[in-house]
Amino acid sequence: MIEGAIIGAVIGVVVSLVMVMQRGGTRKKVLAMFAQGGPEAALRLLDQRIPPVQKIALSKLIAQRERMAALGAFGDLARIEQEMAGHSGSLTAEVQVKAIGLLALAVRSQTPAEVVVRLEELATRMETEGGRTMALVKKKTRAIAGLAKGLCGERIPGATRLSIDSLTSDGGFVQLLIWQAMRRALTAAEQSEQAQIFAGKVLALTRAFEETAS
């Protein structure tokens, strides 16, 4: 039984790594298309690789978080709002996708404080309506709300940083979004040295895109 558990754990790690690599490949191809053909061409490719859905099944959860983060990378805030308004599904699926969508709005918005209020409401809803088995989702949603507050100049608590760091393990566009948010939050807090660390992480993913979209 122990050997079976070990084998199962190893297989799980391998599958996770493969999925992270696939998301990284999608991010690279879509951003390359953005640099070559602009946002419309990039959106067509994104639609092919991660089509929009209305009902978010748990099996589509990670992909739809990626889609929200990708739309944020393009600066397509109207499409994020439109797709989030049409989403349905279980509480945990809907909240996790919406949290990333709202963070993308906050990062690109000229008035992030308005989005911060919506993220606070979402985190509170998750904490109020979610059961005990959703503790991790509650923690991460609250952490995303805390990161969004950082865009308004508030200090990001250490516990929030730890939860946010775990989100970057998803790879793909979510990783890019988190690093962009961290850079801008640290810049707003006048922590320029730390902000430069995240600026380097963002540029390591794609310098051409960042120079175009900043």
Q: pLDDT 10s per residue in the chain (214 long)?
A: 444 433 333 323 323 333 444 555 788 888 888 888 888 999 999 999 999 999 999 999 999 999 999 999 888 999 999 999 999 999 999 999 999 999 999 999 888 999 999 999 999 999 999 999 999 999 999 999 999 999 998 888 777 777 777 777 767 899 999 999 999 999 988 899 989 999 998 888 766 444 444 4
Residue 105 CA: distances (Å) to CA of 6, 15, 19, 148, 169: 41, 31, 25, 10, 21
Domain segments of the chain: what residues? 2-213
What's the predicted TM-score (pTM) here? 0.84
Q: What type of residue is 106?
A: A
Residue pair 52/202 in contact by the 8 Å Cβ criterion? no
